[in-house]
A = this chain, B = another copy of it.
Amino acid sequence: MTTPGFAVVPVSGMPMVEPGDDLCAQILDALQRNELNLVNGDVICIAQKVVSKAEGQLIDLNDVTPSQRAIALGEETEKDPRLVELILQESTDILRQRIGVLIVRHKLGMVGAHAGIDQSNVDHEGGEKALLLPKDPDASARNLASAISERLGVSVGIIITDSHNRPWRMGTIGAAIGCAGITVLDDHRGGEDVYGRELKVTLINRADALAAAATLVMGETTEKIPLALIRGLPSENSEQAAADINRPLEEDLFR
């Protein structure tokens, strides 16, 4: 598909989210305060931090007992062994380790620093809490889309965004870690270019591109504006999930 033009709108007014909050109601309230009435095809982008907090993924580091392995790895990387313990629990493989850094494969499949665990903006007491990713962000996105469909009768897309670092390129960029109702990977393989030649390798990651755009308007201190609306896209009702983005290990040309 060729995507028509679209607008990316920051949505202010989300409250500080607490465990157990009705995130759907909070999102709809914020949209309403911004006089944004949802229509079919709208894509709601929400920062991972907010979803994780609502789902109770904020861990008190004082409740974490590091294993021997976490203590050793904490010494090697000069990181808090309790944080290392959480990273190990959240991941399946350690890909790289350096002083201050652990690059791991999260058990959800994505690769990145520290299993997506965040220590900024999570607590006003400073540093004794850590926020894990949502347990199943695709399910979280699907649940939000369903709840909105039930309450308002509109078919919207949901993207749960996170900020990722990348190999070779400086600077973080927003990425999609949970999706519902959008075409995540748009498959042009087997199509033809404008000269009629077969397009061989053309799978477009639409979800990450939309997440990158949305993350820009959220600003970095995403708890201030953890919500953005993308408007102008056609309604897609895709069954694809952000988990589809994870490149199968055997196909990873960069390993």
Closest chain B residue, CB of each to CB of A167: B254
Copies of this chain, how many?
A: 2
In this complex, the member of A2, A96, A165, A188 whose beta carbon has the largest number of chain B beta carbons within 10 angstroms is: A2
A220 at the binding interface (Cβ < 8 Å): yes
- A selection of 12 A-B contacts at a CB cut-off of 8 Å is A5-B8, A103-B254, A113-B253, A126-B195, A170-B247, A171-B185, A173-B209, A174-B209, A193-B221, A204-B220, A209-B216, A212-B212
Contact with B along A213-243 (1 / 0, CB 8 A): 1011111110111000000000000000000
Let me know if A167 and B10 touch, CB within 8 A. Answer: no
Pick from B1, B126, B168, B208: contact of A171, CB below 8 A. Answer: B208
Contact with B along A129-155 (1 / 0, CB 8 A): 000000000000000000000000000
Pick from B169, B175, B184, B210: contact of A245, CB below 8 A. Answer: B169
Pick from B206, B247, B253: contact of A101, CB below 8 A. Answer: B253
User: What's the minimum C-beta distance from A207 to chain B, rounded to whole angstroms?
Assistant: 8
Let me know if A8 and B10 touch, CB within 8 A. Answer: no
Pick from B120, B208, B221: contact of A169, CB below 8 A. Answer: B208
Other than A3-B216, A5-B217, give 5 A-B pairs with Cβ distance below 8 A.
A2-B10, A96-B255, A170-B203, A209-B213, A209-B215
Contact with B along A153-195 (1 / 0, CB 8 A): 0000000000101111111111100000000111010010111
User: What's the minimum C-beta distance from A117 to chain B, rounded to whole angstroms?
Assistant: 13
Chain B residues contacting A208 (CB-CB under 8 Å) are: 169, 171, 173, 212
User: What's the minimum C-beta distance from A121 to chain B, rounded to whole angstroms?
Assistant: 4
A89 at the binding interface (Cβ < 8 Å): no
A59 at the binding interface (Cβ < 8 Å): no
A202 at the binding interface (Cβ < 8 Å): yes
User: What's the minimum C-beta distance from A219 to chain B, rounded to whole angstroms?
Assistant: 4
Chain B residues contacting A95 (CB-CB under 8 Å) are: 254
